[in-house]
Amino acid sequence: MKSGSRLERVLRSGRFAVTAELTPPRTTDPEAIYDHARVVVASCDAVNTIDSSGASANVSSLAMAALLTRQGHDVVMQLTCRDRNRIAIQSDILGAAALGVRNLLCLTGDGVQAGDQPETKPVFDLESMTLLSTARNMRDKGCLLSGRAIDAPPRLFLGAASNPFAPPHDVRPLRLAKKVEAGADFIQTQYCFDVDRLQSFMSAARDRGLHEKAFILIGVGPLRSARTAEWMRENVPGVVISDDIVSRMKGAPRGRQKAEGTRICVEIIEQVREIPGVSGIHLMAYRQEELIPEILNAVGLLPREPDGESSTRPLETSGSTQR
Site for other proteins in 169-188 (CB under 8 A): 171, 174-175, 177-178, 181-182
Of the residues 27, 143, 231, 307, which one makes contact with other proteins according to CB under 8 A: 143
Contact 67, 29 (CB under 8 A): no
Give Cβ neighbours of residue 49 (< 8 Å, ≥ 6 apart): 22, 24, 61, 64, 65, 68, 75, 76, 77, 78
| Using rule CB under 8 A, residue 54 touches other proteins | no
Q: Does the footprint of other proteins cover residue 113 (CB under 8 A)? A: yes
Contact 256, 318 (CB under 8 A): no
Give bridge partners of residue 161 from the DSSP assignment: 188
Confirm or reject binding of residue 214 to other proteins (CB under 8 A). Answer: no
What does the alpha-carbon distance between residue 166 and residue 198 come to, in Å, rounded to a whole number? 11
SS3 256: helix
Binders in 69-88 for other proteins, by CB under 8 A: 81-82, 86
By CB under 8 A, is residue 226 in contact with other proteins? no
Separation CA 38–CA 25 (nearest Å): 13
Using CB under 8 A, which of 94, 114, 252, 259 touches other proteins? 114
Contact pick of 63, 145, 275, 302 for other proteins (by CB under 8 A): 145
Q: Can you list the positions of beta strands (E) in the chain? A: 17-22, 46-49, 75-79, 103-106, 157-162, 186-191, 215-220, 278-283
- Using rule CB under 8 A, residue 148 touches other proteins: yes
Total residues interacting with other proteins, rule: CB under 8 A: 44
228 binds other proteins (CB under 8 A): no
CB of 278 to other proteins, least distance (A): 18
Q: What does the alpha-carbon distance between residue 61 and residue 43 come to, in Å, rounded to a whole number?
A: 20
Minimal distance in Å, beta carbon 94 to other proteins? 13
User: Which residues between 19 and 38 bind other proteins (CB under 8 A)?
Assistant: none
Query: Applying CB under 8 A, which residues contact other proteins?
Result: 81-82, 86, 108-111, 113-114, 122, 124-130, 133-134, 137, 141, 143-148, 161-163, 166-168, 171, 174-175, 177-178, 181-182, 190, 237-238, 240
